[in-house]
Structure 1
Amino acid sequence: MAAQMMGSQFPLVPMVKVKGLNSQATTHQIRVLAGTPRSSRMASMNTPTSKSAPSWIWGAIIPLLFALKPMYSYFRPGPLTSADLMESSGEGLKVAYQGFPGAYSEAAAKKAYPNCQTVPCEHFDTAFQAVQNWIVDRAVLPLENTLGGSIHRNYDLLLRHELHIVGEVRLAVRHCLLANRGVKIGNLRNVISHPQALAQCEHTLTELGIEHRQAVDDTAGAAKLVAEQMLQDTGAVASSLAAELYGLDILAENIQDEKVNVTRFMMLAREPIIPRVDKPFKTSIVFSLEEGPGQLFKALAVFALREINLTKYVDVKIESRPHKKRPFRVADDAFSTRVKYFDYLFYVDLEASMADPKTQNALRNLEEFATFLRVLGSYPTDVSEA
């Protein structure tokens, strides 16, 4: 399916809120689904970018970069290879993540690209915009958790932006109870953290005698708040890295109620990866169907008949996603967004590579009756230890 990037009028300033400056990024588009009735094509165009700068002055220079954006013109690189993504140390790459320094997303970014320069972003959408506008090279963002389920906001943003999933990384989430130096568990009356982190530690926190919980936007942000305000009766649920960064004591480790707590993160880039068949690959797609009996069965049958396994199946229903009275904006082939109306959206991960002819044939078959179909990415499976 068509895959391309768009310009945006909302610049990124990590952890700083500023008004956007109008800008328009040009790009080329590449057909990810080989052999579709619409022939494959690629057109290279000039694309603005920004030069590197130390992370401590990002907030100061980024508005200037957007103001000067039309003055820059660089040739756009071609599609990435799997070697570029999975064997690279990340040297010289800027990688965006959502949250404060010390967030689990930063740990995932470092696992994916050990030597990268991480760039914190206040919101998920800001990280998408950062990649799209050439402020950073990649973004690493959560997609699903074994306890909390799917992060639907990021599924929505995948449709809204023309970026590509080029890899995945699995990270074991090990929550810790943090407090200021000298504070004991018995002194704590409150605990703050991200709502999912609090939910994942509910039973353990109750056993520790901490009844009052308050939700904040980010686990690392909770640790930062406790440290900056020198709170003596409030702890934070966050990572051991956050404790180290903000000078907090770890009062208890691995406090999640379920010890197997793994978050799957997606690695996003402006260019799609060149798929291969000599190693395990996944292909992520999203599609919509006409209403009617047997439509979903028919859609899933195109994979079953070709013995393509589904590793994930998420159905997005009318009650929680766009419907005919509430339009949803998706990226199109003209470097802009357009409004579409969906009764249902289905997100599926396939245990298959786009380089495999049977995958291409299955999607070509699905395209015949799907009202909407998009390949979000075809990328190597993370087979490492979480």
Structure 2
Amino acid sequence: MAISRVIASWGCSYLLQKTDPDAFCYSFPVRLTTETGRVVKWRGRSFMGVCAGPLAKPATPVGDENPPSLPSAPPPVELQRVVDPASGNESRKLLKDLASLPKPLSVTDLSASPSSGSNVRVAYQGVPGAYSEAAALKAYPECEAVPCDQFEAAFKAVELWLVDKAVLPIENSLGGSIHRNYDLLLRHRLHIVGEVQLAVNHCLLGLPGVRMEDLKRVLSHAQALAQCEITLSKLGVIRESVDDTAGAAQFIASNNLKDAAAVASARAAEIYGLNVLAERIQDDPENITRFLILAREPIIPRTDRAFKTSIVFTLEEGPGVLFKALAVFAMRNINLTKIESRPQRKRPLRVVDDSNTGSAKYFDYLFFIDFEASMADSRAQNALGHLQEFATFLRVLGCYPMDTAL
């Protein structure tokens, strides 16, 4: 029965596929380089599907799953501090302090050995002072936060055991969904084990002695600049987009830019020796970012507290098919908290002959859904068993405790 497959698959994998109900496994080589330069080859083995039964061939990848190897990212650009002769000692001290900050991991240097510390190592995208770092510290106050230059590097750092967890943004109350991370959830075999909701407080940061009337340009992430449209329009400054908010603060401090400011967090001002020229400059004071906590293994679902489950699935083309998919939750009184659709990259169009004039072309979509129920709840098990009967692909991305505190 479809329901029994859903229940049995919990312990080993989150992948349910109508065309491949049995289990399968795949192996993957990992090439590690030790500190002495010796190359060690290791082959890992991962089991997907139900815990018992014969092994079958791997299912056909859906959407962005198992893409070809990405090209190596270019080496990060190192910023050099311009020393002001009038304050040479202070500038040299600041440059020394910035050099002591951890260098963000990139996709090209993920062969480094993890530290032997006892603290949980949590990867995030950005540099120290980023909102993602604040989310990681909220989830794990005693953790060792590890910066990464890209979302992809954070995913790979978890897969290669360089860190224990990754905390990455998935949606913002003003900017909407972070689609890049939805795509990466399909490309990588990590599990969602938690979520963090963080209130964002954008500040305008400048070098000591700089006044707001001295500013000619403001640097920050594109979304942060868009969220501060009213304030920046009143200042009449040029807006320059960079990779992340804290990176903008670091760039201003490293280059001693006295005509520029950054939109970033108050913590970034402390780290990079900047002054807070203005606080809460976002247009909407209720600015919340939701982050996902990712790990190599799922957590055991429970029913003694509020849990949320995230899934992704595909459907055949036809009238009322999406209605049927959503009805499996409605008839069991399960609340949906998010619905997101993403075109499949490997098969973006499907041809459907649904008219008298010939065939039509439609986008072929993946549907991401979050619902309020634990996989330990029979309602969730029955709903997914019902959905599997007509879904062409179904994968549970994670079952995890809800974050109800800000």
1:263 aligns with 2:289: yes
Matched, 1:182 2:182: no
- Measured against aligned partners, the alpha-carbon deviations of 1:94-139 in whole angstroms (never above 9, x if no partner) come to 0000001110000000000000000000000100000001000000
Establish whether residue 161 from structure 1 lines up as the match of residue 188 from structure 2: yes
Aligned to 2:177: 150
Deviation at 1:6, TM superposition (A): 7.4
Pick from 350, 356, 373 the counterpart of residue 394 of structure 2.
373
Asked if the contact 1:189–1:234 (Cα under 8 Å) also holds between the matched residues in 2, the reply is yes
Query: 1:238: how far off?
Result: 0.3
Which residue is 1:78 aligned to?
none
Could you say if the C-alpha distance between residues 39 and 170 of structure 1 is closer, same or farther in structure 2, counting changes exceeding 3 Å? same
Aligned-partner SS, 1:372? strand
2:44 to 7, 16, 26: 26
- 1:126 is the counterpart of 2:153: yes
Question: CA 1:56–1:299 in structure 2 vs 1: closer, same or farther (change >3 Å)?
Answer: closer
Map Cα deviations across residues 1-44 of structure 1 (whole Å, 9 max, x no partner).
534997576989xxxxxxxx99655244465xxxxxx5568x9x
Could you tell me which residue of structure 2 aligns to residue 18 of structure 1? none
Change (3 A) 1:64 1:248: closer
Map of 2:321 onto structure 1: 295
- Give the unaligned 5+ runs of structure 1: 13-20, 32-37, 44-53, 67-89, 328-341
Q: Are 1:224 and 2:224 matched, yes or no?
A: no
Matched, 1:360 2:387: no
- RMSD (CA atoms): 3.1
User: Match for 2:387: what amino acid?
Assistant: L
Say which SS state the counterpart of residue 274 (structure 1) adopts: coil
Shift of 1:383: 1.3
Please state whether the residue corresponding to 2:168 is helix, strand or coil: strand
* Residue 315 (1) aligns with residue 341 (2): yes
One-letter amino acid of the counterpart of residue 239, structure 1: S
Q: Is residue 172–residue 262 contact of structure 1 (8 Å, CA) maintained in 2? A: yes
Aligned mates of 2:290, 2:308 — CA distance in 1: 13
Shift of 1:241: 0.6
1:157 and 1:165 map into 2 onto residues whose CA distance is: 12
TM-score normalised per structure 2 = 0.73
Equivalence for 2:200: 173
Identity across aligned pairs (percent)? 57
CA deviation map 1:46-67 (0-9, x unaligned): xxxxxxxx9959979964549x
Alignment partner of 1:102 out of 121, 125, 129: 129
The residue matched to 2:391 in structure 1 has which SS?
Answer: coil
Residue 137 (1) aligns with residue 180 (2): no
Instruction: Identify the residue that residue 304 of structure 2 maps to in structure 1.
Output: 278
Paired position in structure 1 for 2:369: 348
Of the candidates 309, 330, 343, which is equivalent to residue 304 of structure 1?
330
Aligned-pair distance for 1:155? 0.6
Structure 1 residue 205, shift from structure 2 partner: 1.4
Superposed counterparts of 1:69-88, under 5 Å: none
Q: Which amino acid aligns with 1:366?
A: L
Alignment match, 2:3: none
Matches within 5 A, 1:331-346: 343-346=364-367
Q: Are 2:103 and 2:147, in contact at CA under 8 Å, matched by a contact in 1?
A: no
Q: Choose between structure 1 and 2: higher strand proportion.
A: 2
**Once the two structures are superposed, what CA deviation does each residue of 1:252-300 show, in whole Å capped at 9, x if it has no partner?**
0011100000000000000001000110000000011111111100100
How far residue 184 of structure 1 moved from its aligned partner, in angstroms, is 0.2
Is the CA contact (8 Å cut-off) linking 1:166 and 1:268 kept in structure 2?
yes
* Distance in 2 of aligned mates of 1:211 and 1:57: 30
